[in-house]
C-alpha cells in the first residue's frame, strides 16, 4: 500500500492496520468506490486517497533507504515506545555511549542510538499532537522521489471554523448592500473611460465594477447563520485553509517545554520542507481551470505586459502581503509614466538647445585658443580646451535650466506617489476586509527559542515551568559584532572606491604614455567607461556578500519574532546595499575635482598619485555615465538575468540530487503528483529581495535625477518586465507561499519617505555644486557686461605661470604646439600670478559659494513646503471609502440588533431552556460587538 492514513493514532497490531485501511476507503461511515474524477484528483495529489478530503498542507521528511513499508514503520513505532519509556530528565553522560545535547527534549546529555531515531520519535509525537488538534493526516512513503516521505494534512470543517474564529478572519455574510453611485454625469464619464480602457484589463471577472458588496464580519461559530454556508467546501478557499493549517503547525508543540512547533522541527531536520500546494498545472492543455492557470495566462505572461494586474486574484491566491507588494509595484510603475515623459522632454530640450548654448559654443570655437594645464604630472602635456567640445556638448543635454525644473518636479512626484499609495492602500484594505485589522504578536522564532533553552539549561533552573528571556546583556556580544561588522563592510566599500580612484589615476597616466594617437585621443572616455564597469562588477558582487552578511548578523541577534527579524534584516541590508550602490556616485558628484589643489601645489595620495580632476571642468557628465551604467547594469544583470537563471539552476540541481535526472522532463511531469512536483520548486524566501531592488531603483530615480533625467524612463522599461518576471516566478518557479495578512507594506514605506526627503537635499547639492547652473547665473547677473553668457568660460578659468611648477612635476613636453607655453589655464576662482596675492582664492569664488549655499537652503525649504502642501491637500482616506466604512458599521449594528430582536420574540412566544441559554450567550456577544461597532462608527 503506497499510502498510509494516520488520521487516528497508530496501532501496533494487525487489527490496527486494518482499521487504518478501512478508514481510507470509508468516508463519513459509507463504503464507496472512487469516481473517475475523484480518482484523477487523487492521482494528481490534490486529495487524500478517498478522493474527498483536500490536501491543505504538505510536510516532507527523509526516509531511510534500508527500510521501508510496514516493517520499517512498525520498527519506528516500537522505537517511539522505547523513547517514551525513558526518563527525559536524565542529564548525566553514560560511559561508552554517544552523548547528544537535546535541548528540545529537555535533556542535556541523553544517550541515543542514532540521530535518525530521535528525529523519527519527534516526528511521530508531533503528528500525534496534530491529530489531537483535529487535523487529519495521511502518509506516503512510497513516492516517486527516492528517500523522501510526504505527510498530507487536511483540516476538517470544525477545525476550520474554530481557527477562523480564533484568527478573527473576516468572512462575507449573507447581508449585501448597494455601493453608492456617483451622479449621472460622472457615471457616464466612468462608463466611457471603462470602455476605452477595456483592452487593458485582464480577462478575469474581478475588474468589473461591482455595485453590490457583501457585508463582512469576523467569523463566529455561534453566528454561522449570518454567513452563506451553502457551499462549505469552497467557503474557505485554498489560501485561507493553508494559512489556518500553518497557524496550527506553528502553535503545536512536540514537547511542552522545549519546542515551538514546525519551525524548530524544520531547522533540526526532523522535516525537510513544509508548504501548501498549488492549485494545479499551468502549462498543460488539458489542465483543469484553476486560479493558478488563470494567473499564469493573464498575469505571469510577457504577452500581457500592457494590461493591468489582477490584484484581487493575486490576493486571493497568495494572500494580502504579496498582493500589497504587487499593488505597490504596479502603482509605482504607473507613476513612472508621467515622470518618464517629463524626463524625455527635458532631454529633448537639451538636444534642441545644444547649438544655442553659449558656453559649449565658446569651448568648441577654435578661435578661443585656450591652453589648459596638464591633467597629470610628467607624462601629460598641455591641451586645448577645444578638444573637450564633445564632452561639453554632451553635458548640456543633462545640465541645462530644464534640469532644475525637473528636480522640483521629481520631488513633488515622489510626494504624490506616497500620497497616492496611501489612498490606494486604504482602498485595498476596504476591498479586502482588512479595516480594523491589527497584527497579533507572532510566535517566537526557532532560533530565539533555542537560545532561551540553552540559557535555561545552563542555569539549571529547578522549576520546569520557568522560562528565561534574552536580555540586552545576553545580546551584547551580538550587538557589538553587528556594529563592528557593519562599519567593516562600509569600510570595505570605501576602500574599493578608493582603489577605483587609483585605477583611474594610474590608467590615465599609462595611456598618456602610449604612442598611438587613437589611444591618446580617447583616454577620457576609456578611463571613465572602464572605471564605471569595474564599479558595477564590484557592486554586483558585494550586493550578494552584503545580503549574506546582513542575514548572518541578524541571526546573531536572535530577534524574538519573525516581524522583528524581518525589520532588522531589512534595515541592515538597506544600509549596506545603499552605501554599496551610491558611494561611487556620491564621490563623483561631490568630491571629485574638489580635492585637487591647484597647479604648483597639487594634492597627492601616497606622495605619488595626484588626485584626479574633471577633464572638461565639470564632473556632471562623468556622474551621468556612472549613474547610467550602474542603474542599467543592476537592472539587466542582477534583477533580470539572476532572477531568471538562478531559480532554474537551483531547480536543475534539485532534480539531479533527487536521482530524477535520468528521466525525461515530460515523463517526469506526467508521473509526479502535485505535492511531488511542488517539492522541486524553489522555496519562498520572502519579499525582502523584491522590495530591496525596487527601493534601490527608487533611489536612482530620485536621488540624482538632476544629472540623469532619463532614469525614470529606464526604470519604467525595467519594471514592465519586472512585474511579469516576478509574477512568473511566483506562479511557476516558487512553492506556494503561506498566505499572510498585512494592512500595509510595513517598514518599506518609512524607507521610501526617507529616500524621498534625502533626494530633495541631494538634488539641491547636485544642481548647486556639481552642475554649472549657479556659476552661470552668477556670471550672467553679476559679471556679464551685456547680461548674456558670452565670456563665461574665460571667467571661470584661472591663470598659472608654468615656471611655478614644482621641480620634477612639470611636463616632459613643454612645446607640444611648436612654441613654449608660458601660461596655462585651469578651472578655479583664483587670483592670477601677476596680482599682489597670486593664486589666492578670489572674491568671485566667495560670491559663487554664497549663492550656492543660498540656493540649497531655498530649494530644500521650498520643495519641502510644497510636499507638505500636497500631503495636506490630499486626504489619506478616499471620501467614498470613508463613507462606505461608516455605512458598513451602521449596517452591522442594525444586523445584530435585528438578530437580538428575533431572539427576544422567540423567547416571548415560549422557548426551551437550550434556546434561552443560546440567547444569553448570543446577547452577551452581541452587546460587546455592538459597542465595538458604535465606537468605531464615532471615529468617522
Statement: residue 461 has pLDDT above 90: no
Backbone angles phi, psi at 152, to 5 degrees: -90, 135
pLDDT band at 155 (very low <50, low <70, confident <90, very high): very high
CA nearest neighbour of 740 among 375, 421, 442: 442
Statement: residue 619 has pLDDT above 90: no
Residues 244 and 375 in one domain: no
pLDDT for residue 72: 42
Residues 263 and 372 in one domain: no
Average pLDDT value over all residues in the chain: 78
Give mean pLDDT, residues 369-376. 86
**pLDDT tens digits, residue range 559-586?**
777 888 888 899 999 999 999 999 988 8
Last residue of a domain, one of 814, 839, 873: 873
- 507 class by beta-carbon count within 10 Å (0-12 exposed, 13-18 middle, 19+ buried): middle
**pLDDT tens digits, residue range 786-806?**
888 888 988 989 999 998 888
pLDDT for residue 438: 72
Last residue of a domain, one of 830, 846, 873: 873
pLDDT for residue 153: 93
Give mean pLDDT, residues 402-411. 89
Give whichever of 239-253, 435-449, 464-478, 671-685 has the largest mean pLDDT: 239-253
Any idea which of 436-440, 475-479, 695-699, 834-838 has the lowest mean pLDDT?
436-440
Last residue of a domain, one of 843, 873, 903: 873
Residues 365 and 254 in one domain: no
Give mean pLDDT, residues 240-256. 85
Give mean pLDDT, residues 77-89. 39
**pLDDT tens digits, residue range 209-236?**
566 777 888 888 888 888 888 888 888 9
- On whether residue 646 sits in a domain, the answer given is yes
- On whether residue 255 sits in a domain, the answer given is yes
Residues 241 and 364 in one domain: no
Give the integer Cα–Cα distance in Å for 505 and 496.
14
Residues 417 and 270 in one domain: no
pLDDT band at 337 (very low <50, low <70, confident <90, very high): very high
**pLDDT tens digits, residue range 626-660?**
888 888 888 887 766 777 777 677 767 766 765 54
Residues 415 and 267 in one domain: no
**pLDDT tens digits, residue range 862-920?**
988 988 888 888 888 888 788 888 887 888 787 777 777 776 776 666 655 555 555 55
Q: Work out the percent of the chain whose per-residue pLDDT is above 70.
A: 76
Any idea which of 153-167, 581-595, 653-667 has the lowest mean pLDDT?
653-667
Residues 632 and 767 in one domain: yes
**pLDDT tens digits, residue range 101-112?**
343 443 434 444
In total, how many domains does the chain have? 2
pLDDT for residue 928: 47
- Judge contact between 839 and 831, C-beta under 8 A: yes
Query: To 5 degrees, how large is the angle CA 832–CA 834–CA 837?
Result: 70
The Cβ-side half-sphere exposure at 60, using a 13 Å CA radius, reads 18
Cell 545644444 locates to 354
- Judge contact between 731 and 295, C-beta under 8 A: yes
pLDDT band at 707 (very low <50, low <70, confident <90, very high): confident
Residues 379 and 485 in one domain: yes
Residues 338 and 393 in one domain: yes
All residues at 6 or more sequence positions from 565 whose CB lies less than 8 Å from its CB, including other chains? 445, 554, 559
pLDDT for residue 857: 93
Statement: residue 127 has pLDDT above 50: yes
- On whether residue 80 sits in a domain, the answer given is no
pLDDT band at 392 (very low <50, low <70, confident <90, very high): confident
Residues 250 and 399 in one domain: no
Give me the domain span that covers residue 270.
47-63+115-169+230-277
Give the integer Cα–Cα distance in Å for 210 and 178.
9
Residues 431 and 366 in one domain: yes
Statement: residue 66 has pLDDT above 60: no
- On whether residue 456 sits in a domain, the answer given is yes
Statement: residue 854 has pLDDT above 90: yes
Residues 259 and 150 in one domain: yes
- On whether residue 418 sits in a domain, the answer given is yes
Amino acid at each position: 500500500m503506497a499510502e498510509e492514513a494516520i488520521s487516528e493514532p497508530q496501532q501496533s497490531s494487525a487489527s490496527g492496520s486494518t482499521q487504518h485501511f478501512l478508514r481510507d476507503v470509508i468516508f463519513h461511515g459509507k463504503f464507496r468506490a472512487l469516481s473517475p474524477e475523484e480518482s484523477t484528483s487523487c492521482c494528481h495529489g490534490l486529495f487524500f486517497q478517498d478522493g474527498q478530503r483536500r490536501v491543505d498542507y504538505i510536510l516532507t521528511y527523509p526516509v531511510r533507504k534500508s527500510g521501508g513499508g510496514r516493517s520499517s514503520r512498525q520498527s519506528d513505532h516500537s522505537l517511539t515506545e522505547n523513547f517514551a519509556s525513558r526518563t527525559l530528565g536524565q542529564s548525566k553522560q553514560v560511559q561508552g555511549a554517544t552523548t547528544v545535547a537535546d535541548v528540545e527534549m529537555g535533556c542535556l546529555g541523553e544517550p541515543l542510538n542514532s540521530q535518525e531515531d530521535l528525529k523519527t520519535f519527534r516526528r511521530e509525537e508531533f503528528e500525534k499532537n496534530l491529530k489531537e488538534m483535529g487535523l487529519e493526516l495521511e502518509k506516503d512513503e512510497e513516492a516517486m522521489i527516492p528517500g523522501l516521505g510526504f505527510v498530507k494534512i487536511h483540516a476538517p470543517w470544525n477545525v476550520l471554523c474554530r481557527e477562523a474564529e480564533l484568527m478573527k478572519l473576516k468572512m462575507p455574510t449573507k447581508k449585501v448592500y448597494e455601493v453608492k453611485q456617483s451622479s449621472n454625469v460622472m457615471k457616464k464619464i466612468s462608463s466611457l473611460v471603462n470602455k476605452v480602457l477595456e483592452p487593458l484589463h485582464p480577462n478575469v471577472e474581478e475588474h468589473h465594477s461591482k455595485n453590490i458588496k457583501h457585508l463582512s464580519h469576523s467569523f463566529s461559530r455561534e453566528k454561522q447563520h449570518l454567513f452563506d454556508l451553502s457551499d462549505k467546501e469552497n467557503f474557505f478557499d485554498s489560501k485561507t485553509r493553508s494559512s489556518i493549517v500553518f497557524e496550527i503547525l506553528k502553535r503545536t508543540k512536540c514537547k511542552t517545554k522545549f519546542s515551538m512547533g514546525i519551525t524548530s522541527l524544520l531547522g533540526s531536520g526532523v522535516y525537510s520542507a513544509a508548504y501548501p500546494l498549488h492549485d494545479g498545472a499551468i502549462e498543460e492543455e488539458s489542465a483543469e481551470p484553476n486560479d493558478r492557470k488563470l494567473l499564469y495566462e493573464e498575469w505571469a505572461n510577457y504577452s500581457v505586459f500592457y494590461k493591468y494586474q489582477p490584484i484581487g486574484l493575486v490576493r486571493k491566491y497568495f494572500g494580502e502581503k504579496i498582493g500589497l507588494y504587487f499593488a505597490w509595484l504596479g502603482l509605482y510603475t504607473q507613476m513612472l509614466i508621467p515622470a518618464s515623459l517629463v524626463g524625455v522632454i527635458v532631454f529633448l530640450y537639451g538636444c534642441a538647445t545644444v547649438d544655442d548654448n553659449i558656453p559649449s559654443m565658446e569651448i568648441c570655437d577654435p578661435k578661443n585658443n585656450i591652453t589648459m594645464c596638464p591633467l597629470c604630472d610628467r607624462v601629460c602635456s598641455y591641451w586645448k580646451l577645444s578638444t573637450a567640445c564633445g564632452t561639453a556638448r554632451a553635458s548640456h543635454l543633462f545640465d541645462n535650466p530644464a534640469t532644475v525644473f525637473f528636480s522640483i518636479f521629481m520631488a513633488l512626484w515622489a510626494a504624490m506617489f506616497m500620497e497616492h499609495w496611501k489612498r490606494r492602500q486604504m482602498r485595498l484594505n476596504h476591498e479586502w476586509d482588512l479595516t480594523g485589522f491589527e497584527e497579533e504578536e507572532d510566535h517566537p522564532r526557532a532560533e530565539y527559542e533555542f537560545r532561551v533553552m540553552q540559557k535555561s539549561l545552563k542555569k539549571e533552573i529547578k522549576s520546569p515551568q520557568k522560562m528565561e528571556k534574552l536580555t540586552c546583556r545576553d545580546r551584547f556580544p551580538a550587538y557589538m559584532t553587528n556594529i563592528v561588522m557593519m562599519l567593516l563592510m562600509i569600510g570595505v566599500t570605501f576602500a574599493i572606491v578608493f582603489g577605483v580612484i587609483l585605477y583611474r589615476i594610474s590608467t590615465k597616466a599609462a595611456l598618456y604614455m602610449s604612442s598611438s594617437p587613437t589611444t591618446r585621443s580617447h583616454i577620457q572616455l576609456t578611463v571613465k567607461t572602464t572605471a564605471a564597469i569595474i564599479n558595477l562588477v564590484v557592486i554586483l558582487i558585494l550586493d550578494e556578500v552584503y545580503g549574506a552578511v546582513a542575514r548572518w548578523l541578524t541571526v546573531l541577534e536572535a530577534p524574538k519574532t519573525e516581524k522583528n527579524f524581518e525589520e532588522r534584516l531589512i534595515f541592515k541590508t538597506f544600509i549596506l546595499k545603499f552605501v554599496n550602490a551610491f558611494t561611487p556616485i556620491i564621490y563623483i558628484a561631490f568630491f571629485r575635482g574638489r580635492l585637487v589643489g591647484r597647479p604648483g601645489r597639487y594634492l597627492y595620495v601616497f606622495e605619488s598619485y595626484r588626485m584626479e580632476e574633471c577633464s572638461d571642468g565639470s564632473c556632471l557628465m562623468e556622474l551621468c555615465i556612472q549613474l547610467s551604467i550602474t542603474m542599467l547594469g543592476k537592472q539587466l544583470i542582477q534583477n533580470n538575468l539572476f532572477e531568471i537563471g538562478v531559480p532554474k539552476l537551483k531547480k536543475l540541481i534539485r532534480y539531479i540530487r533527487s536521482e530524477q535526472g535520468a528521466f525525461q522532463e515530460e515523463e517526469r511531469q506526467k508521473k509526479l503528483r502535485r505535492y511531488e512536483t511542488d517539492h522541486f520548486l524553489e522555496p519562498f524566501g520572502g519579499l525582502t529581495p523584491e522590495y530591496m531592488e525596487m527601493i534601490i531603483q527608487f533611489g536612482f530615480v530620485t536621488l540624482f535625477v538632476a544629472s540623469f533625467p532619463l532614469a525614470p524612463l529606464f526604470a519604467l522599461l525595467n519594471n514592465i518586465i519586472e512585474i511579469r518576471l516576478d509574477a512568473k516566478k511566483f506562479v511557476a518557479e516558487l512553492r506556494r507561499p503561506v498566505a499572510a495578512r498585512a494592512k500595509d507594506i510595513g517598514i518599506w514605506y518609512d524607507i521610501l519617505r526617507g529616500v524621498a526627503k534625502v533626494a530633495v537635499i541631494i538634488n539641491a547639492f547636485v544642481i548647486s555644486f556639481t552642475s554649472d547652473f549657479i556659476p552661470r547665473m552668477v556670471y550672467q547677473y553679476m559679471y556679464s557686461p551685456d547680461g548674456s553668457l558670452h565670456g563665461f568660460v574665460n571667467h571661470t578659468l584661472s591663470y598659472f605661470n608654468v615656471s611655478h611648477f614644482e621641480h620634477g612635476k612639470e611636463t616632459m613636453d613643454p612645446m607640444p604646439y611648436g612654441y613654449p607655453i608660458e601660461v596655462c589655464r585651469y578651472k578655479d576662482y583664483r587670483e592670477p600670478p601677476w596680482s599682489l596675492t597670486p593664486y589666492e582664492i578670489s572674491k568671485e569664488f566667495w560670491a559663487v559659494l554664497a549663492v550656492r549655499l543660498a540656493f540649497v537652503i531655498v530649494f530644500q525649504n521650498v520643495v519641502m513646503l510644497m510636499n507638505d502642501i500636497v500631503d495636506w491637500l490630499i486626504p489619506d482616506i478616499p471620501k467614498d471609502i470613508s463613507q462606505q466604512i461608516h455605512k458598513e458599521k451602521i449596517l452591522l449594528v442594525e444586523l445584530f440588533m435585528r438578530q437580538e430582536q428575533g431572539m427576544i420574540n422567540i423567547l416571548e412566544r415560549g422557548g426551551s431552556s437550550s434556546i434561552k441559554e443560546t440567547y444569553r450567550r448570543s446577547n452577551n456577544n452581541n452587546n460587546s460587538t455592538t459597542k465595538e461597532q458604535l465606537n468605531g462608527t464615532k471615529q468617522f
